[in-house]
A and B are shown apart, each in its own frame.
Chain A
Amino acid sequence: MTILTLSKLTKTYGERRVLDEVTLSVAAGERVALLGHNGAGKSTLMKLVLGLIHPDGGTAAIAGHAPGSAVARALTAYLPENAAFHPAISGREQMRYYLRLRGQPVRLADEILEKVGLGDAAGRRIGTYSKGMRQRVGLAQALIGGPRLMILDEPTSGLDPVSRREFYALLDELAANGTAILLSSHALSELEARTDRMVILSQGRQVAEGTLADLRAEAALPLTVQITPQAGQGAALLDVFPDGRLVDQRVMLTCAPAEKLTVLERIAAHRPLIADFDVHAATLDDLYSHISGRAA
């Protein structure tokens, strides 16, 4: 079942098109990542979905309801980027407020804070929290009431690797219960590939969409092969691999993903010359800068 549907969504500020005919859908239980540089239109897209701003063209619907409508708001949870809650109140007080707004019993406050690892800090003022803890308060409020759609703006920025893993475990749990999740990030590596699908925005346009494997296949970024020669065999090795270069006493060469086996055969054919070798696939950041760079 599709929860979020965007069709040719467009937003302009004066002459500038910050979002240009973006079409996208997120189904129940699906985790979709929105990627793009700062200013690519991620936050604008999210604000349109939340009904905080209104589009200049196209439509958006949350389970068939207009963004910002009472039903849409009741179904949607939002985690803003770098939300700083009032420092004078405690995490528990803040959570009780949000529970009341959603018509939920306030006794759930401690349970929810416990879930994001803030059980011990619930009674302390938010002003005493670290950045990561404040981010968890934001996450906690987004969990209230089991939302059907979750909009998370750069949720993992400021989290340490352990917290980030816990965060993705929470998302997995939510998705398993049927919550549609749309989260943004400015770096592919931040996501740890824990999403079902990715949408890459560049200057307001949708430049790529698919699973990580799809994107890799489509980009066809070359592999890097590093071959360490046996002592004194460097020059001989370079004769055998004329397409390589000598870097730090090692022969470096690149090859297309489809050529991988051919290169391995060549390596195997020259075993006496070779001490060791490594094959590196393009990193997520390489892939991402390739895709978003191609569009620009």
Chain B
Amino acid sequence: MISRILATALLEFAIARRNRWVIVSVAMMMLFSLVLSAAGAAPAGQMAVDPLSVTVASLISLAVYLVPLIALLISFDTIAGESERGTLALSLTYPLARTELLFGKLVAQLGVVTIAVFAGYAVAAVAAFASGGAEAAQGLPALWRLVWTSVLLGAVFLSLGHAMSCLARRPSGAAAMAIGLWLVAIVLYDLGLLAAIVADDGGTFTTDVFPWALVLNPADAFRIFNLAASGAVDAASGLSGAASSIAVWKPLAAILIWPLAAALLARLSFQRVVP
């Protein structure tokens, strides 16, 4: 079982490398990290916080957009592409269980996301140490937290991408669904919540529903957990005020449960695929 998962992962990683997904993901993360580091260096002088913590606070809002996007781009073609090429039927006639096939691909793609995350944040860390010296070491715990939560966030959206890939059956349809999911989960969800709060004007929605709604979205849970745990202020998101009122275990639980739930959803969607 392990050998078949590993074989699938190796092939998938080779494909990701040849398709330039690895290089593109790494380049994207590094470039944005570099830009944020440069932008974040300016206010660092006035604040009594180390430069790395400031950079991490900016990286949180970067990661919440970029990591899901990279994950969906890598994963949308996974099943639909094989189905269209005719190799899915072939693979499934081998002594290879559907779970093994899906898990092998997830492992390889998560490897790509992890490499991109490490590369991007390493650039930010190097920049912070270069400008702040040893003082920047205070921000290392926050950076590490950002690293592993980013990888988990990537895992969630990889599996969601797989689910889209199974349901759409065609790569073009899967791509459209993946972009739609990204827009809804990352952009529209927050806008919708903000609009609801404004309309509600401090009513029961704001006090009872909203904190849960915020935690249930993996991207928001990721943002709130990182902000709350590092005590940083997120200027880019209007939701930061709410973040402080939510107990830290809630977003943490969401971050830990979502990868499993999404993987399960992908597996169930895969079961419905008839090659």
Contact surface of A with B, Cβ cutoff 8 Å: 47, 50-53, 70, 73-74, 76-78, 80-86, 88-89, 93-94, 97-98, 100-103, 125, 138, 141
Contacts and interface: CB of A to CB of B under 8 A. Distances in A.
A77 B94 CA distance: 8
Interface string B90-118: 11111110000000000000000000000
Contacts of B90: 78, 80, 83, 138, 141
Interface residues of B, number: 24
Interface in B11-70: 11, 14-15, 18-19
Contacts of B14: 88-89, 93
B89 A47 contact: yes
Contact of A85 (B3, B85, B92, B95): B85
B96 to A, nearest CB: 5
A78 B89 CA distance: 9
A147 B15 CA distance: 28
Interface of B: 3-4, 6-8, 10-11, 14-15, 18-19, 85-87, 89-96, 274-275
A81 B10 CA distance: 26
Contacts of B4: 100-101
A138 B90 CA distance: 9
Is chain B's interface secondary structure helix, strand, loop, or mixed overall? helix
- Greatest chain B CB density within 10 A among A70, A89, A101, A102 is at A101
B94 A102 contact: yes
B87 A83 contact: yes
Given A78-B93, A97-B7, A100-B3, A88 B18 contact: yes
Is chain A's binding surface mostly helix, strand, loop or mixed? mixed
Contacts of A97: 7-8, 10-11
Given A47-B275, A81-B86, 19 more contacts: A51-B93, A52-B275, A73-B93, A80-B89, A80-B90, A82-B86, A84-B85, A84-B86, A86-B15, A86-B87, A89-B11, A97-B10, A97-B11, A100-B3, A100-B4, A100-B7, A101-B94, A101-B95, A103-B3
B83 to A, nearest CB: 11
Contacts of B10: 97
Nearest to B10: A97
A83 B85 contact: yes
A93 B87 contact: no
26 contacts: A47-B89, A50-B89, A52-B89, A73-B93, A73-B95, A76-B93, A77-B93, A78-B89, A78-B90, A80-B87, A80-B89, A82-B86, A83-B86, A84-B85, A84-B86, A84-B87, A85-B85, A85-B87, A86-B87, A88-B19, A89-B14, A93-B11, A97-B8, A101-B4, A101-B91, A138-B90
